Amino acid sequence: KAGVTQTPRYLIKTRGQQVTLSCSPISGHRSVSWYQQTPGQGLQFLFEYFSETQRNKGNFPGRFSGRQFSNSRSEMNVSTLELGDSALYLCASSPTPQNIQYFGAGTRLSVL
């Protein structure tokens, strides 16, 4: 069974640009969560989607948004990038929101 797939693995952008990250969950998993991981802050919860609906949202500015498609694939978008957005962005999937989460390898975003 294939794991959680995140694309791209690496991204380099400049300040002010926008970026879209993609996540394909484990087959049969309908819940997708996104996290930002930085050395200083650890894992910070961004948002969670289930059945194309955002169920929970973390404490991030509106520049961070996401969506989920009918096939459970999810995308997150960051607009007007700032230097502080440089981080490892992780996607995790689970069969339902209350279940154990399984992570992808992450997308490493560098903002110059």
**Sites of contact with other proteins (CB under 8 A):** 4, 6, 33, 42-43, 45, 55-56, 88, 90, 97-98, 100-106, 108
- Measure CA of the first residue to CA of the last residue in the chain; give whole Å: 37
* Of 65, 108, 73, 103, residue with least CA distance to 88: 108
**For other proteins, the closer CB: 48 or 85:** 48
**For other proteins, the closer CB: 12 or 43:** 43
**For other proteins, the closer CB: 66 or 104:** 104
Q: Is the dihedral of CA 88, 102, 55, 9 positive or negative?
A: positive
For the chain, the C-alpha Rg in angstroms (whole number) is 13
- Nearest distance from C-beta of residue 16 to other proteins, angstroms: 26
